[in-house]
Amino acid sequence: MIVLLLNFYIALLALFVWLRFIPFNLFWKLSPVIVLLALLVGLFVPMGWGAPSGPAVVVRNSVEIIPGASGSVIDVPIEPNRPIKAGEVLFKIDPVAYQAALDQYSAQLQRDQALLAKDQTNLQRYQQLVTQNSIARQQEEDQKYIVDQDQANIRLDQALIDGATHNLDNTVVTAPTDGYVTNLALRKGARVNGQSPVMAFIDTADTIFGAEIPQIYARYVAVGQPVEVTFKFFPGVVYTARVEAVLQAIATGQPQVGGLAVAPTSVQAAPFVVRFKLDDQEAAQRLPAGSTGLAAIYTDQVKASHVIRQVVLRQTAILNYVNPF
Determine the Cα–Cα distance for residues 153 and 147; give it in Å rounded to an integer: 10
**Which residues have CB under 8 Å from 216's CB, separation 6+?**
48, 49, 269
Determine the Cα–Cα distance for residues 209 and 304; give it in Å rounded to an integer: 26
Q: What DSSP designation does 51 have?
A: S
- H or E element at residue 207: strand 199-213
Determine the Cα–Cα distance for residues 37 and 49; give it in Å rounded to an integer: 18
Are 234 and 311 contacting, i.e. CB atoms less than 8 angstroms apart? Answer: no
For the beta sheet containing 89-93, the strands, ordered from the edge strand earlier in sequence to the opposite edge, are: 172-174, 89-93, 71-75, 191-192
Single-letter amino acid, residue 52: P
**Orientation angle between helical segments 137-169 and 96-131, nearest 10 degrees:** 160
**Nearest CA-CA partner of 105 in 172, 163, 166:** 163
Per-residue pLDDT of the chain (325 residues; tens, 9 = 90+): 666 666 666 777 677 777 777 787 777 777 777 666 676 666 777 788 889 999 999 999 888 999 989 999 999 999 998 999 999 999 999 999 999 999 999 999 999 888 888 878 877 776 777 676 666 667 767 777 788 888 888 899 999 999 999 999 999 999 999 999 988 899 999 999 888 899 999 988 888 999 999 999 988 999 999 999 999 999 999 999 999 998 877 766 776 776 777 666 667 778 889 999 999 988 998 898 899 999 999 999 888 889 889 988 999 999 999 988 7
**Structural domains present in the chain:** 1-45 (no CATH), 51-60+204-252+268-325 (2.40.30.170), 62-201 (2.40.50.100)
**Nearest CA-CA partner of 199 in 173, 178, 225, 218:** 173
**Which residues have CB under 8 Å from 129's CB, separation 6+?**
135
Q: What DSSP designation does 81 have?
A: T
| Interstrand relation of 179-182 and 272-278 (parallel, antiparallel or unpaired) | unpaired
pTM confidence score: 0.70
Determine the Cα–Cα distance for residues 70 and 186; give it in Å rounded to an integer: 14
